[in-house]
Chains A and B, each alone.
Chain A
Amino acid sequence: GSGDSGAKESSAGTDKKNVSAEEDGESYRVGFIVGSREHVFYNLIEDAIKEKCDEIGIEALCYDGELDANVQSNHIENLVAQDVDAIALATVDAAGVGPAIEAADAAGIPVFTFDSPCTTVDCIVCHVGTDNVKGGELGAQECIRLLGDKGGTAGIIGNPASSSCLDRENGFLDIMEKEAPDNVEVSFNGNYQGDANIAASLVQDWLTADPDLGVIFATGDPACTGALASIKAAGADTLIVGYDGNPEAIKAIYAQDEDGKWWVSEISQNPPLIGSTIVEQVYKYLKTGKVDAKNIPIEPYIITYEYIVDNNLMSE
């Protein structure tokens, strides 16, 4: 409900600002490339980006990176041809799209990254994003907490094709190896390929092999959806720790007597904050030539039922 009115407000605001910006001769056009429009996480970032841009009077050109570096590279080229004032992108992985970024830089267009950093070039002005490894570590800690003194088995549903998911997986496995007590064991590791139905089959197979599977860490919300379906169907007591913090997850966790019986926690990266922060930094750089820091981390945090209640996330 609140989103709608906000959108109306801001669009009205844009018109006014555009006029004033033109008078000042400083209407900025900035290109944003999200990782993929097929992921809710990026869609939430994009929504925040658009909202923030409307608010401060930046013309946002948003593109779908399709989780394909070649596509992202093409978008960057096209943005250079359009002579935008700045480019901000969520690279597919740490390797990034080096040559295209360097070409943009050489053409005098500053490049920013968000969500996933690019380690292969030095010319990135600023990166805003969550440390996914850290998110994975948080997930592992949460799993250990949920298993409690009794301990038990854990499984992880990954999606190594996406580097953020891979980072989460690595963080998770690292902590599980280092910090887990002896009675906690990671006995399953699967790839759901971004497909909830595949996640469902994976979990179904795991539960057949181990009906007492204690907890599942899912590196993305679609995997939680699939896992939940199979756990319910099997009548198991396995708990789910998700990742992303999408509205769907919040609703599920909040329904304590239903889906919340299994889906209990969620690691969130705060996509709206990532989106608004990157816009702020771009704006600041275009105005002043400076950013707050070269790397602005957005801390991941854990969403539980208590968190939802405390922060009034489900007030309607």
Chain B
Amino acid sequence: METKGVMEKPILQVKEITKTFPGVKALTDVSIDFYPGEVHALLGENGAGKSTLIKIISGVYIPTKGTLIFEQKERAYKNPGEALNLGISVIHQELSIANELSVAENIFIGREPGKGKQRFLLDRRKMERDAQKALSLMGVNFKATDIAGDLSAAQQQMIEIAKVITRNSKLVIMDEPTSSLSDSEIEALFKQIEMLKKNNVAIIYITHRLKELKVVADRITVLRDGIVVKKSLYEDITESEIVASMVGRKISDYYNKQQHIRKEEMLRVEGLTVKGVFEDVSFAAYKGEILGVAGLVGAGRTEVMETIFADKKKASGKVFIKGKEIELKNSREAIANKIGFATEDRRRTGLMLEASVKNNIVLPSLRRKAMKKAFVNPKWEKKVCDEYFGKLDIKTPGRETIIKNLSGGNQQKVILAKWLVAESEILILDEPTRGIDVNAKSEFYNLMNEFVDAGGCIIMVSSELPEILGVADRVIVMREGHLSGELNRAEMSELNIMQLASIQSEAESNTPRQADGASNLQSSKLRGI
């Protein structure tokens, strides 16, 4: 894009912003200029201060020090509403959906169109019409009248995007908008970003997927520990330079791929079926390997894993553990059979956010380590926490720290620790590195390797092709509720996996889903290595 040629006045100037939370200095003297018609990528590790900065820009937080100059005027707004009124809209990192409301109501939340002069009565028709128009433009497969809570995470994210697009904003901020989107949806998003740029809208774009920068970014700023460490036009910088400035050192190969030695079978499923979700899924996982499970978002991988973990009831099929068929009635029995399951939604199904690190780690193992059958063993608790804080290099002020105060990477390590403490031999990791920065990712992959080398078995569901290619020893691919193939290390390539995940015969490719799949192949370049 030739946007960078347009050297207008900055629409927003952040000047020497400092923000301190009790005990944490999240931002120190941050100054950045943002220009209209430009995508400005904000990069940095977890906890670098990206979200904090955009929350200050959008009026969620009040800065401790510093000024915001929007459209050449100094601003100090007290709530997000004032920022919105100025034309600053945000897609927040955490999904911001009101589950009970319809899609249209979500899109127009807080600025519902009114009838008449007083704007007292709601103009529902106009609201739904406008919402539908925006959705059609984005080519999504749901309606404005659907209830938002019934939609998938990806679809909800599309609602968020529709929300900012319909706002006629001057500045649009997107905090990790693609973390739950499939490639086709990402492509739709990027189209919308192009449109916004054409309309001279300034865009702040936050992501951990550096590959995306190639397509969208005009300019980047890297934050480390709340300090600006790099500012550049995108074309003037290489990816390895970006990574180096984010981490503060050079990371050559953060996957750190290792050759594992596959041993005996640990888990085998045959003909696993949950009606309407997936059918006839059969595969095996072995001691000493990382089995990747690839597929597009919504292919049914999560459901398969939930069913193996006995969180969902299966309609038919068999599960074998170490060669023995076992009928697991509930997750408790799965845990007793040494299966651990790190879910894809950390905040909702992975952690007790308000509880301490310690309580999160020991929860599934309490019963096994009980004193006199009923009592918690506090000595063991302390010992095991300290042990794993060391082993996994978990950065936390202490055992009793409330876990929501930890960074995403450390939270993920706590979840790993939880299943290691539970003496899991089979670890199911569903999107284990979603929303985690490069450094934490690389540490996490090392831990996975260690676990496998020590005789463990990992099943890793991931939507990130590079991750699958970089970490897995073998991969199975799912497509629309079916197992569509298996590739060993030698056969694994981006193209092969994408073919199994999405390609359909020409005749069938009329339904929306398959159309999605087809376009995926092209857009997969976005995420390819």
- Do A and B have CB atoms closer than 8 angstroms in the complex? no
Residues on B close to A: CB < 8 A? none
